[in-house]
């Protein structure tokens, strides 16, 4: 009789430990899945904005506002999007920002040139671009999207990064995408910085 009670006690302990382990693994998997979904959504945002801009020959403030509002899928307050039109030489034509958050990500720019990685090597053309005329034959749209993770709850205790960041780069159909007057005023690249 004493033996039977001991077995029941050990089964109860084993069951409790197993259930605790299963719940912990489940919560961790749920957190990882939630971060994966948010990163995928952020990648879709950056790609959608970049692809839509590459198809344009000119941008208006109303059009860009509508595009970014739709692409951010209701997460405007937690996101920052930086959009750059970069020539083949690495020189930046314009830089614009959207989103309700600030200081989540930095533009990869210095002295009017893009400093991040590009699918082409602009180093050969930088010397030519520093002269009066840039010999670039095409331009790229670089979109960097960042999202704060403060509002994402962790149920499994997993450590999350404070900011999710993604970048999308696409070749533009037009070498220079013009901006309307309102966007020209927002442009963070001025003739002085070139």
> What is residue 6's predicted lDDT score, i.e. its pLDDT?
61
Number of structural domains found in the chain: 1
Residue with the two structure tokens 């945002």: 45
- Report helix, strand or coil for 187: coil
Range of the domain at 109: 2-193
Q: Which residues, 6 or more positions from 99, have their beta carbon under 8 angstroms from its beta carbon?
A: 68, 72, 76, 77, 79, 80, 81
Distances 1 to 10, 15, 85 between C-alpha atoms, Å: 15, 21, 81
Burial, 123: exposed, middle or buried (Cβ in 10 Å; 0-12, 13-18, 19+)? Answer: exposed
Residues 23, 131: Cα–Cα separation, whole Å: 64
Closest CA to 141 of 35, 60, 51, 61: 51
pTM: 0.80
Confidence tier at 4 by pLDDT (50, 70, 90) = low
**Vertex 136 angle, CA 132 and 138, to 5°:** 145
Place of tokens 């720019």: 109
- The 8 Å CB, 24+ separation contacts for 5-13 are none
Pick from 76-85, 116-125, 153-162 the range whose average pLDDT is largest.
76-85
pLDDT (0 to 100) of residue 172: 93
Please give the mean pLDDT across all residues of the chain: 84
Q: If you average pLDDT over residues 98-126, what whole number do you get?
A: 82
More confidently predicted of 3 and 61: 61
């Amino acid at each position: 009789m004493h033996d039977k009670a001991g077995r029941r006690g050990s089964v109860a302990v084993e069951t409790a430990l197993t259930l605790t382990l299963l719940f912990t693994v489940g919560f961790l998997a749920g957190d990882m899945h939630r971060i994966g979904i948010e990163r995928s959504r952020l990648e879709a945002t950056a790609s959608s904005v970049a692809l839509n801009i590459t198809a344009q020959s000119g941008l208006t403030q109303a059009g860009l506002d509508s595009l970014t509002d739709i692409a951010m899928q209701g997460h405007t307050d937690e996101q920052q999007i930086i959009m750059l039109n970069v020539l083949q030489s690495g020189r930046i034509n314009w830089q614009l920002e959207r989103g309700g958050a600030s200081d989540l990500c930095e533009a990869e720019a210095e002295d009017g040139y893009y400093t991040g990685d590009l699918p082409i090597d602009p180093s050969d053309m930088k010397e030519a671009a520093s002269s009066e005329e840039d010999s670039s034959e095409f331009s790229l749209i670089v979109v960097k999207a960042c999202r704060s993770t403060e509002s994402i709850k962790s149920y499994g205790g997993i450590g999350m990064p404070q900011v999710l960041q993604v970048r999308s780069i696409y070749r533009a159909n037009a070498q220079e995408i013009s901006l309307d007057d309102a966007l020209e005023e927002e442009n963070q690249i001025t003739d002085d910085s070139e």
